[in-house]
């Protein structure tokens, strides 16, 4: 189980704390997309194996037979070529379809995060603001870094640089 799958399962479990129709619908959509993505992944593996078999089926006689194109039956060569091309085209199509499913799943996960966040806010209230969130990024820390960079690093030099 990879990290992406663990996070998705965690979000689905969080959705179960609210029994609204939207939460249940989103959980069902995520489950369906995961199932479809798993089917596509299995189809990708099957097409990769068939492509490898077709390459091996053409490569074996090409290397070991002296007059390969003329000594092998043409129908078998044609059949292996068709199998290889068809499985290669299908492999590309399934990879693209897998990417589409992953993008759909990422979109549903983001919706799930927003719903879980609103659920937590409704139950626990807004989180308190921490000091590092309130302070702008370049406010006080940048000034200290510039002052300490200008001194030689000794405590006396830092104090004099900070005062003046």
Would you place residue 2 in the very low, low, confident or very high pLDDT band (cuts 50, 70, 90)? confident
**Residue 108 pLDDT greater than 90, yes or no:** yes
What's 16's DSSP letter?
T
Domain coordinates of the chain in residue numbers? 3-127, 130-164
Averaged over 82-102, what is the pLDDT?
Answer: 95
Give, in degrees to the nearest 5, the angle at Cα 3 between 2 and 4: 95
For CA atoms 104, 106, 109, 114, give the dihedral sign: negative
């Amino acid at each position: 189980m990879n990290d992406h799958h663990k996070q998705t399962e965690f979000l689905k479990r969080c959705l179960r704390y609210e029994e609204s129709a939207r939460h249940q619908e989103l959980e069902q959509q995520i489950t369906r997309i995961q199932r479809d993505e798993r089917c596509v992944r299995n189809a990708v593996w099957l097409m990769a194996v068939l492509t490898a078999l077709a390459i091996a089926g053409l490569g074996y006689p090409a290397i070991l037979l002296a007059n390969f194109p003329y000594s092998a039956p043409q129908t078998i060569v044609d059949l292996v070529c068709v199998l290889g091309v068809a499985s290669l085209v299908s492999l590309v199509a399934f990879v693209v379809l897998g990417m589409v499913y992953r993008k759909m799943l990422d979109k549903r996960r983001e919706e799930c995060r927003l719903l879980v966040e609103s659920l937590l806010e409704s139950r626990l209230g807004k989180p308190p603001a921490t000091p590092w969130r309130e302070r702008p990024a370049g406010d006080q820390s940048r000034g200290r870094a510039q002052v300490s960079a200008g001194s030689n690093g000794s405590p006396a030099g830092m104090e004099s640089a900070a005062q003046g």
